[in-house]
Structures are given as structure tokens and as C-alpha cells.
Structure 1
Amino acid sequence: MFNEESHLKQPIRWAMVGGGRGSQIGYSHRNAALRDGLFTLVAGAFDLDAQRGRDFAINLGIDESRSYATYKEMFTQEKKREDGIQAVSIATPNCTHFEICKAALEAELHVICEKPLTFTVQEARELKALADDKNKLIAVMYGYSGFPMIHQAREMVRRGDLGDIRVVNAQFAHGFHNEEYEKNDPSLKWRVTPEASGPTYVIGDIGTHAYFLCEMITELEVESLCCMRQSFIESRAPLEDNAHIMLKFKGGAVGTLWASAINAGSMHQQKIRIIGAKASIEWWDEFPNQLRYEVQGEPLRILERGMGYLYQDDAGVSCNRVGSGHAEGYFESWANLYARFASAFNAMDQGNQKAFADMWFPGVEAGIEGTRLCEKCVESADNGAQWVNYKN
């Protein structure tokens, strides 16, 4: 079970950029960060409209003097305070991630950033170098990677329960944008605007989630990929609302990834199936407490979160927040990640390299690879779905 007694000497003083009134993602960050008392929200630059952001901050219980009109003002003023912020979460459109992350690191803050981390791999590497120089950490909010059964799947692959991995099928294919809803939805409009979203829509927005689970569970390295993408809502071009990606991994395994916002009738359809020489596993985020385990020649097994037969590793069983049979979900997954971020930030600040070396969380390397996926898919798709080397 999750250890609720494992607290820091003092909670991490934390702020947000973006994620203001009405933001689902903003609320998700706050719910996760504040759940275990490991962070305390003391400041924010929540909105481009300074007054609206200030009203929102006051309603959250933040001192009015620590509600800022811009992130630059916040970083400057907070650095002058003895009780200034130590970490910041960035929940803003993609086009702002690089500049805000860079400013936060220069202000000697730990960063939790929405994905994709940047528009280009070069930008992501620049952030990594700056973080290393400042002795600070960048975490990337791959929110589905906090589910306990994802960690069970990872351990099963690591321990050879599936045998050599042969095939990975991953997808995140919802249907909520099967029409041109962005005409009346500003929160969607920026996602399908290249200047704000970057070179991709669904690949960066949801495909990176599916890809990260593939990376995390299998630890396979992509050798090359081939991508075709479509803009079924023509006004979204050149950004895609549907994409199919074929993957070749080092060692001979192969895979596919389907990212879509026009899968009419679908809620999420985020699934990952990993096929080995001996057995297969499959996880679906709409049923996150179960993991299908299929051994050739044996009956199907449904592994349930929280049960004693699961691997007793720190990453999996210990992050269960309630006993088996009770439903855990999205907010618990996010909270599990924020608990990891807090431990990592604290270990780094204390110079405890041994403790830090043993910690897992989606960090800057995960951000770099998510950005690389977007870059390479665009390169492939825009050149007639050619196969391209993943790392040059």
C-alpha cells in the first residue's frame, strides 16, 4: 500500500503557470500535487488575463501578492523571497513550453511540464543541459504511467514472463474531435493550430502517451519508423487528426501505434498489447485496474490491482492507494507520479545521489523521446510515409 507516513521535512513550495479557471489539466495537477501533502501551492501565474488569474488564485487560497500577471514576474519575485517557490508546473500551450521551462531552470526551479516538452529535440536537449548545469530536474507529465498495473506489466517483461518481445501494438484513439468542434471551443482551437501546437496534433497530444507506455514497459529502442497521417477535418491541415505509425525496434521486435481523435464513438481506446515468445499482456486505460495475461495453451488470466500474487516491487504494489476490488483511476495515477516527483526533487536538493539513482519517474529523457517521435513522424509522413532512422 502507498505509505502515507512518508513525508518530507517540509512540503515543496510549488507554483503553476497556466492551468487556471476551467482547466481540466490544471485541476488534475493540483489534485495530484496536493493529495499527499508533499507539495504546497503558494504562487501562480494562472491566466493571460491577470485579473481573472488573480481572482482564481484568491479562490484557491493563495495570497493575492503571490498571484502574478506573468511567469517572468513570478520567477523574479519569488527568487527574492526566503520562502520562494522551489518547483513549478507548466500547463500551457505547447508553443510556450520551451521558453517557460528555460526561464524556470534559470531561476533554479525544478520543473514539471506538460507534453510534448518542446517542438524540437534540439530544444529539449538544451533544456536537459541547462537542468544538469543548475542541478535541477525536469519531469514530464505522462499521467497514465502512474497506474500500478503498468508497473506490474513492466516487471513481467523485465523478469521474462513473456519471453523475448516480438510485437507491440499501442493506440490512443478517441472520437471526441470527429467534427470541427474547434469552431466553438478555444481549448481545442490552439491544439489544431500549428503556431501553438507545433508540427503535430494527435501524435504529440495523445500519441506520445501511448509511445511512452511502450518505452516504459518494454524498454525497447526504436530503430526506424514509418508514419502516415491524415487531416480528416480539412481545416486542421497540415496537422493530423489521425495517424498510423509502424515501428522497428533494435533486436528484431516490431510494433504499431495508432493515434486518433476521429475514432467516432470511442471514449479513449488507449490500449497497449505486448506479445512475447511465450505469452502476451494487454492493458486498457478504461479498465486500468486489470491486466490481461495470456499464456499460449492456458486459460486467460485477469490480474487485478492490489492482489498479493503481483510482484512486490516498490514501483507497483506499494503505490496502491486502496485495497483490491476498489476502483483506482486517473487521479491516483497522477498523484503517484507527483509523489515520485517530490521524492526526486528532495533527493536532488539534498545531494542524495544514491537515493536518486534508485528512483523512477518520467523525466527529461522521456520528454526528449516524445519530441523525437513527433519530429520523426512528421519527417516520415511528409515524405510519402518513408521509413526513417529514429536516431541519426
Structure 2
Amino acid sequence: MINGEQRVPAPIRWGMVGGGRGSQIGYIHRSAAERDRVFTLVAGAFDIDAARGRDFGTALGVALDRCYADYRAMFEAEARRPDGIQAVSIATPNGTHYAITRAALEAGLHVVCEKPLCFTTAEAQALRALAAERRRVVGVTYGYAGHQLIEQARAMIAAGELGEIRIVQMQFAHGFHSEAVEAANPATKWRVDPKMAGPSYVLGDIGTHPLYLSEVMLPELRIKRLMCSRQSFVPSRAPLEDNAFTLMEYEGGAVGYVWSCAVNAGSMHGQKIRVIGSKASLEWWDEQPNQMRFEVQGQPVRILERGMGYLHPQALADDRIGGGHPEGLFEAWSNLYLRYAQAMVATDRGDAAALAALHYPGIDAGVEGVRWVEHCVRSADAGAVWVDYV
């Protein structure tokens, strides 16, 4: 993607729900979606306060009459326009995702939604059925999956370079919430409120990120059963956890482990995934996303660098600037938004072959994330017991 050529016939007319002034995640969505000119922001319901949302929307360059008080008004009004939105991104607290996604699909819109998609597996499956019925794309923003070396790991594992997969070690363990920061931070406060965050805090908020990376790297791996223990080290967060350990057994004999934590004092981000095979191991750390360790038993450690010609074509397809120049989160998200746009265009024209060639965090990833959290909570609340993954 170094040359920046247009990758879709025309930019998709796009709206946002949430992501208003001061929203870090809203800015990431807009920057990623518009970088490759595959989406154009033309409408939004940016804030729960309608006047504040209009003020912010016009500051972004959105026409005043397309800055709406709420998502329902936006979907209804845009449906009446010949140039109405074709897709919407949802950047609102967790507790609103299901209702807004459902309404968007019913309005005939493609959707990009923050995770978790909803709170229960039953809700997630209902959204999947509705998306299939309406033939709409639902993308879920597991943004780290857009990093180039994730594709490299997927290709190497598929080629058998690691041998038989034995262990998958995952963590997302930062330290920024090692104290009750939510008392003074509204963006954190809702994340530890069960009414808005759902049945978990760190399991759903951060633990599902490395879990999805494992699904990208190891698409054939299936969880057989798991056991989860969760804690609320900041007592006011109970019943939601700020730390959790999840052990997993996979079909075929491999095992896995996810450490989800917001109280790892001193850690900046702490998201890592290590895949261990019978011949070699791979390790990727999101704080150093342009490098991946490749460790073959009995040989010196190799550091694979983003953007280099020795990488697999699947990885180089995501390249945005030559090797040696660092890429980061915005590039990763832009890669995903490009894939979302390509999937939406292919869906609209009924191009099954183009869709089959794409992989991105879609509705199945959203369902699986909700399902995993649900099983973790069930295990932890039963006293950290093994539960079958059904």
C-alpha cells in the first residue's frame, strides 16, 4: 500500500455515533477511515448532548443539518437522502453497542463497532443472523490485528515453520488503573460500571485483543474448555475485575493462557503474544510492533523487521512506508478500515470471490469475543472451575 492508490471505486459515505470532542477512540476511527480515501465522513450523532455534538461535528467539517441529536434521527434522515450514509461506526460505551448495531443493520447500513459487540452470546448471534439476512458487513475494531507482522506470523505458522503448535501465551497487562483513577476520569468510570461495561472489565476491554491476535495467527485452533480466575484489586470495581487469568485447552492438545490486567503497576501497555511450536517460537509485543522475534531451537534469535523483502507477501501487502521507518497504531487501524471498505464494496456487488480473499475482524470475531468473556465469567464466578467451551 506504499503508493496510496485508490483501492475502492469511490469513498463510502460514512457516519459516526459517538466519538465526540475529547474522545481518543473517535479520533483514531476518523484518522484510520479517511487515510486511504475509502470513507468520507458526511454525518454523525457525535455526543449525547445534541448541541455539543453539533458544535463538534461542524468543527470536523460535517454539514450542520447532518449533525444529529441521536443515532435514530440520523438513520431515519439519512435513509431519505439520495446521498445518505452507507456505513456507520459506533464509538460509544459498551452498553449501547447492541441496540445501535441492530438499528444500523435494520436501516441497511454496514457497521464498524467497538468491542465488545454486545453483552451476551445470544445477542451476538442475533446480530450475526441479522447481518447475514441484510447482507451487511459488521467489522469489530480489534485494531492491533492490522499490524503488518501479525500477517507474517499467520503465514509462517501456516507454512509449518514453527512445527506442531503446543502453547499460546497471551497478555494485555498495563498499569494505568492500579489506583481508582475512575473517580476523576469519566472515560474510565463507565468501564467499571456493570450497567455500561457489561459482565466484565479487563476480560472484555483488553483480554479479547490478544485473544483475537491468536485467532488471526492460528485460525484452525479451537478452544475445548477454559478456567478463569478474576480479581478486583481496587475494591470499588467489584463485581467487575481489574485482573484475570484464563487457562485454555484447545482441541488437538495445545494449551493457552491469557493474562488480562489493568493493575500491572509500571507497565505501559504489556500486550504480548508468544506462539510456541515443536520446532520454533514467535513473539510479538505491541510496544515494539515493527519487530517480531523468531526463535528456532538451537539457533540464534532472529528479529524480523516490518517492511523487509524477506517477509511473506501477505505481510508486505500491509506495508505503508519502507522498512526502517516505524509504523504504529494508526497504520494498523488504517489497514483494517481499508479491509472493511473492500468487504463492504464486495458485499454490495455480490462478489463472493473478493470476500473470500479478505480476512478482517468481522461479525464472527465479535461473536467469539463475547462468547469467550461469557465463559470466563461463568468459570470465575463458579470458583475458577473448568467449563466446557460450548
Q: TM-score, normalised by structure 1?
A: 0.98
Aligned residue number for residue 167 of structure 1: 167
Cα deviation for residue 8 of structure 1 reads: 2.1
Aligned residue number for residue 365 of structure 1: 364
* More off after superposition, 81-90 vs 210-219: 210-219
Aligned residue number for residue 297 of structure 2: 296
Cα deviation for residue 194 of structure 1 reads: 0.1
Aligned-partner residue type, residue 208 of structure 1: T
Cα deviation for residue 210 of structure 1 reads: 1.1
CA contact (8 A) 2:111 2:138 kept: yes
Q: Residues of 2 paired with 1:7 and 1:360: CA distance?
A: 16
Aligned residue number for residue 129 of structure 1: 129
Cα deviation for residue 3 of structure 1 reads: 4.9
Q: Does 1:13 align with 2:24?
A: no
Aligned-partner residue type, residue 17 of structure 2: V
Aligned residue number for residue 269 of structure 1: 270
Output one character per residue of 1:102-147: Cα deviation in whole Å (capped at 9) or x when no partner. Answer: 0000000000000011100100110011111111011100000000
Residue 48 of structure 1 aligns to a residue whose secondary structure is coil
Output one character per residue of 1:162-181: Cα deviation in whole Å (capped at 9) or x when no partner. Answer: 00100010000000000001
CA contact (8 A) 1:311 1:317 kept: yes
Identity of aligned residues (%): 59
Aligned residue number for residue 208 of structure 1: 208
Q: Residues of 1 paired with 2:58 and 2:111: CA distance?
A: 23
Q: Residues of 2 paired with 1:272 and 1:357: CA distance?
A: 27
Which ranges of 4 or more aligned residues in structure 1 deviate by more than 6 Å?
none
Q: Residues of 1 paired with 2:305 and 2:9: CA distance?
A: 35
Aligned residue number for residue 278 of structure 1: 279
Cα deviation for residue 6 of structure 1 reads: 3.3
Aligned residue number for residue 177 of structure 1: 177
Structure 2, unmatched stretches of 5+, are: none
Aligned residue number for residue 236 of structure 2: 235
Counting matched residue pairs gives 389
Aligned-partner residue type, residue 37 of structure 1: R
Aligned Cα RMSD in Å?
0.7
Aligned residue number for residue 245 of structure 2: 244
Aligned-partner residue type, residue 77 of structure 2: Q
Cα deviation for residue 7 of structure 1 reads: 3.0
Cα deviation for residue 54 of structure 1 reads: 0.2
CA contact (8 A) 2:6 2:36 kept: no
Residue 319 of structure 1 aligns to a residue whose secondary structure is coil
Aligned residue number for residue 354 of structure 1: 353
Cα deviation for residue 357 of structure 1 reads: 1.4
Aligned-partner residue type, residue 5 of structure 2: E
Structure 1, unmatched stretches of 5+, are: none
Q: Residues of 1 paired with 2:356 and 2:283: CA distance?
A: 29
Q: Residues of 2 paired with 1:254 and 1:7: CA distance?
A: 39
Q: Residues of 1 paired with 2:111 and 2:42: CA distance?
A: 15
Cα deviation for residue 10 of structure 1 reads: 1.6
Aligned residue number for residue 110 of structure 1: 110
Q: Residues of 1 paired with 2:3 and 2:145: CA distance?
A: 19
Q: Residues of 1 paired with 2:5 and 2:196: CA distance?
A: 42
CA contact (8 A) 1:3 1:318 kept: no
Q: Does 1:40 align with 2:58?
A: no
Residue 14 of structure 1 aligns to a residue whose secondary structure is strand
Residue 95 of structure 1 aligns to a residue whose secondary structure is helix
Q: Does 1:330 align with 2:302?
A: no
Cα deviation for residue 382 of structure 1 reads: 0.2
Q: Residues of 2 paired with 1:215 and 1:360: CA distance?
A: 11
